[in-house]
Amino acid sequence: MSTQGNAEKLRLRPHHVFCERFSSWILPERGEAFNDLERKIREALGSGTDVVIEVVEGVDDLCRVCPLCQNDRCQSPEGDEDQVRKWDAIVLKGMGVSYGDKLTGKGFSVLIGDKAPLAFCHNRCKLRSACNVSPMCAKE
């Protein structure tokens, strides 16, 4: 996470912007730095803070502290960088934003609340069991 003046700024890929608000998992194997940043992201999106979030393509602030990110590529068994970029493109389109767009946590919180669940949530997400948007999916 970087700061711009006094304002905190996060650079996040689309699925981190959208999904972290609904995630309930804790991944101790990914380390303290990862889990601390994940908490900050959830806080920014959940309570709608003034933290500025920029939507970025590829490896983001959370990826950089993740042990599954190697050589600037996601190496997760749930989906490697190529697969994650496909998911990001779908989530980006579903949210109706573009790479480089910036909103506050509060702005993204409202946007995500209006858009959730995405078609991605129904069809492609492998982490539905640990997602708080899942009950919304069941209603549709």
Per-residue pLDDT tens digits for 110-140: 999 999 999 878 777 777 777 777 555 544 4
The answer to whether residues 16 and 79 touch, using CB atoms and an 8 Å cutoff, is: no
Q: Where are the domains of the chain?
A: 2-139
Q: Which residue has the tokens 């995500």?
A: 112
Q: What average pLDDT score do residues 40-55 get?
A: 90
Whole-number Cα distances in Å, 73 to 68, 79, 83, 115, 136: 8, 11, 11, 28, 31
